[in-house]
Chain A
Amino acid sequence: MTLLQRDPKAPASWQGELPVTNRYTYGLAGEKFFRTIKDEGHILGTHCPHCDHTYVPAAAFCERCLRKLDEWVDVGTIGDVVTYTFLYVSLDGSPLEKPEIVAFIRFGDGGLIHRLGEIEPDQVEIGLMVEAVFKPKSKRIGSILDIKHFSPVKI
Chain B
Amino acid sequence: MTAKIKEFPGISLSEQDFTDGKILFNFDKLNGIYAWDTGVGIGSYLASLKAGVILGSHCPNCRKIVVPPRTFCEFCYRPMDEFVPLNDSGTVNTFSLCYVTWDVKRIKQPEIPAVIDIDGASPLHGIMHMLGEIDPKKVKIGMRVKAVWKPAEERQGSINDILYFKPIKEV
Contacts and interface: CB of A to CB of B under 8 A. Distances in A.
A19 B101 CA distance: 15
A95 to B, nearest CB: 21
Interface stretch (A24-32, A52-60, A107-115): A24-32
B157 A10 contact: yes
Interface in A1-45: 1-7, 9-26, 28, 30-31, 34-35, 38
Interface in B87-131: 103
A3 B82 contact: yes
Interface residues of A, number: 34
A94 to B, nearest CB: 16
B43 A7 contact: yes
Given A3-B41, A25-B13, A31 B79 contact: no
Interface residues of B, number: 37
Given A3-B71, A23-B18, A25-B13, A11 B46 contact: yes
Contacts of B11: 28
A28 B9 CA distance: 13
Nearest to B51: A9
B43 A15 contact: no
Nearest to A35: B24
A14 B32 contact: no
A117 interface: no
Contacts of A31: 23-24
B62 to A, nearest CB: 15
Interface string B24-35: 111111101111
B44 A7 contact: yes
Interface in B18-61: 18, 23-30, 32-41, 43-44, 46-47, 50, 57
B145 interface: no
Contacts of A26: 24-26
Contact of B24 (A13, A14, A34): A34
B36 A25 contact: no
20 contacts: A2-B80, A2-B81, A3-B41, A3-B44, A3-B80, A3-B83, A11-B156, A13-B35, A13-B37, A14-B38, A15-B36, A17-B33, A17-B34, A21-B29, A22-B27, A24-B27, A25-B13, A26-B24, A31-B23, A31-B24
Interface of B: 11, 13, 18, 23-30, 32-41, 43-44, 46-47, 50, 57, 69, 71, 79-83, 103, 156-157
Given A17-B34, A19-B32, A20-B29, 13 more contacts: A3-B80, A4-B71, A11-B38, A12-B37, A12-B43, A15-B33, A18-B30, A23-B18, A24-B26, A25-B23, A26-B26, A143-B24, A143-B26
